[in-house]
A and B are shown apart, each in its own frame.
Chain A
Amino acid sequence: DAKTTQPPSMDCAEGRAANLPCNHSTISGNEYVYWYRQIHSQGPQYIIHGLKNNETNEMASLIITEDRKSSTLILPHATLRDTAVYYCIVRVVGTGNQFYFGTGTSLTVIP
């Protein structure tokens, strides 16, 4: 699976949009981009995933660049409960094996 690069930490004001970037320049055509988050001492929570089109669900939006070398997770109106570590993962479709979690981005939402 391709490697991802994320900033180690970010801050965001409560109520504003949080934009979390991820670089995956070696991504191949059959790899999806996944986003998870982990609140301290809890299990990771699935947020969203996509292949090449932008995706939106009730939690977030995922914007993938046309060349697929990078993506951005957008939390449209950040709340204090969104403070967590956010992981960007790329994964070959249909392998059924593990997700490679790196160290992610620690997002702090500030009141």
Chain B
Amino acid sequence: DGGITQSPKYLFRKEGQNVTLSCEQNLNHDAMYWYRQDPGQGLRLIYYSQIVNDFQKGDIAEGYSVSREKKESFPLTVTSAQKNPTAFYLCASSKWTGGNKDYEQYFGPGTRLTVT
């Protein structure tokens, strides 16, 4: 069964602690993305990666870090420097050929992070 998994679904942390959110895909997609969603808002891009060992900042990368050591995995670390970390975090992946064909993104089920 192909798809994207994110774990855990709910995560609770104390302020000042770093926390890592997991994202794994078995779709053989090259590109992976992390978005953040706040209540009643659209999605905002945190980081994306088009290829292993390479990633780019999105619109709101401050206070976050990522790694892309394997094609299937793109973990996101929410650091203590992130001022408002409580949010719904969504991971996505897509094919990427670098050419003139565009592909849809497939999303995981999300992780709801609460920091108190």
Annotate A84-95 by CB proximity to B: 1 below 8 A, 0 otherwise.
Answer: 000100010111
Binding site for B on A (CB under 8 A): 32, 34, 41-46, 49, 87, 91, 93-104
Beyond the given pairs A41-B110, A41-B112, A104-B42, 7 more chain A to chain B contacts, judged by CB atoms under 8 angstroms and listed by A's residue number, are A43-B92, A49-B104, A96-B50, A98-B35, A98-B59, A102-B42, A103-B40
Task: Kindly specify which of B11-19, B66-74, B75-83, B93-101 makes contact with the partner chain.
Answer: B93-101
Whether B102 and A46, one on each chain, are in contact in the complex, defined by CB atoms closer than 8 angstroms, is: no
Residue of A nearest to B94 (CB): A96
B: number of interface residues (CB 8 Å): 33
B108 at interface by CB-CB < 8 Å: yes
B113 at interface by CB-CB < 8 Å: no
Provide 26 A-B residue pairs closer than 8 Å at the C-beta atoms, listed in order of the A residue. A32-B102, A41-B88, A41-B112, A42-B110, A43-B90, A43-B92, A43-B107, A43-B109, A46-B104, A49-B104, A93-B100, A93-B101, A94-B101, A95-B102, A96-B94, A96-B98, A97-B45, A98-B35, A98-B58, A99-B105, A100-B42, A101-B35, A101-B43, A102-B42, A103-B42, A104-B42
